[in-house]
Structure formats: structure tokens, C-alpha cells
Amino acid sequence: MRYFITGTAGFIGFHLARRLLEEGHEVVGYDGMTPYYSLRLKEARNAALTQFPSYHSVMGMLEDGGLLRDLAKAFPPDVMIHLAAQAGVRYSLENPKAYLDSNLIGSWNILEVAREIGVGHLMLASTSSVYGANPDVPFREGDKADEPMTFYAASKKSMELMAHSYAHLYKVPTTAFRFFTVYGPWGRPDMALFKFVKAMTEDQEIEIYGEGKMSRDFTYIDDLVDSIIDLSRIAPSEENRVAEIDTLSRQAPFRVVNIGGGQPVGLLDFVETIETIMGKPARRKMLPMQQGDVPRTFASPDLLVALTGRKPETELKEGVAAFLDWYRQHQHEIG
């Protein structure tokens, strides 16, 4: 099959594209190489993908609708997977316009392209941040999700709503999947695991927000990729509706699915896991909750399991160990 993936120089896009290429699929990758974090890391990911003859790399911004359209028409995909976005919860407090341009205007361009080419399945990366500070756990796809705590979360929920309207109007089968704190090798430098390991390696303090009282439902990258590929084979339709828990729309071939294991870990337990694997204590700097942070994330994986037969299962200590092995091999290359 041919997959069109945005954000292939990013953390998740890289892993997904590499897995599909290893399985013999063709991948058209689109990435803007924005300097939100280390370009050296993004270039290293892209270089690894270009070793595959069935990978086609194109540099471009999501805001360039003409380039996206021309590329999709030149390489008509079976599945489009939209992962590219302005990421980061905290950065949205500093530069909200970047989220408007990328996550709203850019995502609208993707919807337009999907409509024009009549793609068989459009998949969109959303986030657990849309649940805000929901006190009811675990978070279920049908829960109220209209009280975003950051503009990042608001931009992602807005993308979901725009996509539903296009699925209804133009019958584009669409799956929006919500990530829960993804981690692993080749991860983003602004995420907690990367920051903590880097600081501890350099004998620097690690900053622990919320006095360490927060918890997160961590998802290992390989599990996430498994779930995305599984879901890519299940374009939403009445033929694959599952029981009462399905979020399949009554008006459109549109579905929202959590991708998370439903096993939240306390922040201090997370730090202790890193300390154990690294064999050294962290110098902890306890700080209050940051603006826009939520106290917990906790996925209900029930719909994912009903659709695919499995959910993320990798234990935290195994995933952290894999990241540490990767970091020690590559820390001098990626800066």
C-alpha cells in the first residue's frame, strides 16, 4: 500500500514510516523541518528513512496547500496519516499563532486534499490534552472534551470537529486518534524522559512540576505504531461498528479512538524508574504546577481493544531502558 504521512521527520512519524517501509509499503513523507527543537535530530531521522528506496521525502509546510495537493495527486495514497503539528503544551503559551497556522490552517489543507483525491482512509493525530482536567477517570472517548486547558488542546479538538464536518459532507472515512504521553528512542527533547535523562547524565537538576503529584498514562512508541497500523486497516463504517462504546458518528464515517494502555504512573514513580535504570539518583528541584498542566491523564483502552484486539502493554521500565540505550549511542550526534 501507499501511505502519505505528514511529520515523518518527527518522533512518531519517523517510527511509523520506518515500520511501514520495513513491511514493504511505500511511504510519501512530508515535513517542514521547523526549528521547534533540534534540527540535527530531525535530519538524522529523515536520513534513516531515505535509506529505503520506497520512501519519498518532500520538505514543505502544512500551510502550503498547493504543494500538498500536487504531491498527493502525483502519489495518490491509499491512506493519509496526518501527524505533523505544532507540538508542545507549554510552548502554546508563548507562541499560540504557530498552533493556529499549523494545527488549524494546516490541518484544513489536509482535509481539503483528502476531499479532492477521495482518499480511502484519513487518519489524524489528536491528543489526550483535549480531555483537560476531567476529574472522571479513565478518560473515555465519549467524555465531555470542550474545556481545553491550553491553546494546543483547543487547536487539536478544533481539528477533530473540522474533520467530522468533512467526513459528513464529503464521505471521507476518518479516524482521529488521541495519544497519551508517548515516549521511546528518537523521542522529542522537550519531553520529560529526554529532559530528565539528559540532565541526570550531565549531573544537572531535574525540574519536577506539580510537586511530583501528577500522573501520566505513558505509551511506548512501538505500541503506538502497532495501534496506528491496526486502525489504518479499519476505515470507519457501519460495517465495523462495535457495541455501545463505539464513537462512530451517526452522521459520518468518523471515529475517535484513544491510544493508551490505561495504566497511569505517578511522576515520582517515573523518576524513580529512571534513577533505577541509570543507577544514580536525580537531583530533584520541586516546582509548582505549570500553567496549562493537568493533574493526570488516564486512557480507557476499551474501544481500541474492541477494534484491534490489543492495547499498549510495554512496561515503563522496559521502555525507559530502551530509550536510555538509544540516548547513550546517539547523544553526541544529536546535540
For 207, the enclosing helix (H) or strand (E) is: strand 205-208
Quote the mean pLDDT of the chain: 95
Tell me the C-alpha distance between 315 and 318, whole Å.
Answer: 5
Report the DSSP beta bridge partners of residue 237. Answer: none
SS3 140: coil
Tens of pLDDT, residue by residue over 113-163, are: 999 999 999 999 999 999 998 999 999 999 999 999 999 999 999 999 999
Of 36, 91, 152, 183, the active-site residue reads 152
Tell me the C-alpha distance between 101 and 241, whole Å.
Answer: 34
Confidence of residue 87 (pLDDT cuts 50, 70, 90): confident
On whether the CB atoms of residues 68 and 30 are closer than 8 A, the answer is yes
Which candidate, 30, 32, 327, 67, places its Cα nearest to that of 195?
Answer: 327
On whether the CB atoms of residues 2 and 78 are closer than 8 A, the answer is yes
Task: Please determine, for residue 333, whether its predicted confidence score (pLDDT) is greater than 80.
Answer: no
Mean pLDDT for 313-335 is: 92
Which architecture characterizes domain 2-183+217-261+298-313 according to CATH?
3-Layer(aba) Sandwich (3.40)
Tens of pLDDT, residue by residue over 59-69, are: 999 999 999 99
Confidence of residue 207 (pLDDT cuts 50, 70, 90): very high
DSSP letters, 254-274, are EEEEEE--S--EEHHHHHHHH
On whether the CB atoms of residues 205 and 285 are closer than 8 A, the answer is yes
Tell me the C-alpha distance between 298 and 22, whole Å.
Answer: 32
On whether the CB atoms of residues 16 and 92 are closer than 8 A, the answer is no
Tens of pLDDT, residue by residue over 226-254, are: 999 999 999 999 999 998 899 999 999 99
pLDDT of residue 335: 60
For 125, the enclosing helix (H) or strand (E) is: strand 121-127
Tens of pLDDT, residue by residue over 211-227, are: 999 999 999 999 999 99
Tell me the C-alpha distance between 218 and 227, whole Å.
Answer: 14
On whether the CB atoms of residues 174 and 248 are closer than 8 A, the answer is no
Mean pLDDT for 47-53 is: 98
Domain boundaries, the chain: 2-183+217-261+298-313
pLDDT of residue 48: 97
Task: Please determine, for residue 282, whether its predicted confidence score (pLDDT) is greater than 70.
Answer: yes
Q: Give catalytic status of residue 30 as yes or no.
A: no
Number of neighbouring beta carbons within 10 Å of residue 123:
24
Where is pLDDT greater, at 34 or 309? 309
Task: Please determine, for residue 101, whether its predicted confidence score (pLDDT) is greater than 70.
Answer: yes
